[in-house]
Structure 1
Amino acid sequence: MVTGIEKARGLGEPRTDAERVMAHHNVSREEAERWLSVYPVEKLLPERGAGAAQGMAAKTMDKGLETKVERLRTELETLRDEVYDRFRGARLSDWVLPEPGALIVNPERAKATPCKCFMYKGRDYCWSPGAIGMLKQEEE
């Protein structure tokens, strides 16, 4: 039996599978029961307890998420400033090359990381994390 305190805390009796399907998919009881007769409940619903956190757990999660977003925002702004300072005055046309070729942006990274290659229209092309643009296989 559920007491008044448990109800106030939202700790009532667990929902049946049909009630969970109804709430999750916003369908009638008949539709939910029909679906459950065809599909197992695991296919129709996420795992129990996978919902959004509530109460104090949600506040803790939100604070952690806000901190992470702020850290990423700061990192992106710093990276943007470094790129703008390094390539001040560069135009978009400076980055677009008429033939496959690459502008080496970070020589150390280009040498340290292996090129990723693929074939396109019968020709082999490669790219590197340290370069902007494509290299022909023989330029690698």
Structure 2
Amino acid sequence: MKKKVFVFFPDGVGLRNFAFTDFKTIGEQMGFDITYWNNTVFSLKDNLGFNEVKIENHQLHPLTPIYSRARKRCELNVSKAKFNDDVYTTYKFPFNYNSIKNTFKSLYTKLLIGVYSSEKGVEAIRKKIKRSRTKKPKICLL
């Protein structure tokens, strides 16, 4: 029985790194059954003949990326406080204020961070993301 390998392609970078290289050939020579979980618009089955599981619904709720950014920052804040280590602050990227839309996103993210920067808060924000009205977070989250 062949061992199964499941490769997730969230974007075109994964396609470039795995689908357009010898990854599949080498894997099959080693006795693996390779299936791709494809979140891109590029059809691997039609264009390259690869086994794929296609994620049909690419839509996210407009607030999901904001909640996800806030969740990451809250987790970093909680970890910094829990382990008393400043290394967690190096993983925080600066907020973007170069347009009205980005300013709104940054300010709303900061508000969410202020409200949810605790262990219970992190759990609550994860639940909010899971309760999204679209199917994608239910399929891909955590």
Fold-level similarity (TM above 0.5): no
Normalising by structure 1, report the TM-score: 0.20
Larger radius of gyration: 1
Structure with the bigger percentage of helix: 2
**Larger relative contact order (Cα-Cα within 8 Å, sequence gap ≥ 6):** 2
